[in-house]
Amino acid sequence: MVAKYAGSKLLDINWLVSLSPYEYSEFRSPFAGNEPLLWVIPTCVKRWINDINPLVYQYWIALRDDDSLEDRWVRHCKRADRSLTDAYYLFRSCCKRLITGNHHPVDLLFVSYLAVKQQWGMYRSHFASFSPALAASHSWRAVTPERIILAREIMQGVRITNWDYQKVVSAPGRNCWIYCDPPYDGAGRVYAYGFSALQRKDFARHMLRSRHRTLISLEDSALTVKQFVTHPHFDSVPQMYRSRRTQKINRQWYIANYSL
């Protein structure tokens, strides 16, 4: 929404919408990250986002409820614009607050924003030692801070939880559509909360039991093919995309328990 997140499906929005059911009255995202679908799902639809990472949860709560968010952001930007020394000082103090856990979500966005804008090399190394919180925050990149107000409007009425995905998938509901974007196999170092082999097995089991219409995105691997693509319960379509890091063309799968 306001920030960019590792593994973001922001560029796949149209594709995702094209794979959604024709009509639904509730939307759930159990692995929300920076859930970009919230930009396009009508606000009259009941919406529920969830992420196990407390930093992600705090960010969403602040975006929905904290009226001071925009002021804080503007104050930070004004100070950083005065001089490079001021910007650097601010950057360091935000980093410090992140490390002590005594931060505001704006600090998280601001560190990411300045690190990218100024290309300060300390970014990665500073973050590497701060685990698991920093492993998560290096996934963030604030790109469109001026959208904070719009994002807050869209966020009104959205339910936000900080649970394991299973509770969200299995909770009862009516005419519900769930989009699951779990950590891909091999993405262990990208997210503070990745999936182990056991969790992945459990995930496949849970998805088989889901009583709601569920769309899943997963990496192209032998495991995905075995657990989902060749399984008669699911319908799957491949999608090609270019990796921003390696510039290679990769394939990922979109899998649903309804007809795609």
Residue ranges in contact with ligand SAM by CB under 6 A: 5, 7-9, 30-31, 33-36, 50-53, 56, 164-165, 181-183, 191, 193
Number of alpha helices (DSSP H) and beta strands (DSSP E) in the chain: 11, 9
Cβ of residue 12: shortest distance to ligand SAM, in angstroms?
Answer: 8
Cβ of residue 182: shortest distance to ligand SAM, in angstroms?
Answer: 6
The residue among 18 and 230 lying less far from ligand SAM, judged by its C-beta, is: 18
d(CA 104, CA 98): 8
The residue among 236 and 252 lying less far from ligand SAM, judged by its C-beta, is: 252
3-state SS class at 29: strand
The residue among 35 and 107 lying less far from ligand SAM, judged by its C-beta, is: 35
Give the phi and the psi of residue 46 in degrees, each rounded to 5. -65, 130
Cβ of residue 89: shortest distance to ligand SAM, in angstroms?
Answer: 31
CB atoms within 10 A of CB 143: 15
Residue number with the shortest CB distance to ligand SAM?
33
In sign, the C-alpha dihedral spanning 137, 140, 146, 147 is negative
The residue among 92 and 213 lying less far from ligand SAM, judged by its C-beta, is: 213
Cβ of residue 241: shortest distance to ligand SAM, in angstroms?
Answer: 13
Cβ of residue 92: shortest distance to ligand SAM, in angstroms?
Answer: 26
Q: Output DSSP code: residue 47.
A: E
The residue among 8 and 170 lying less far from ligand SAM, judged by its C-beta, is: 8
Residues 48, 110, 5, 213, Cα dihedral to 10°: 10
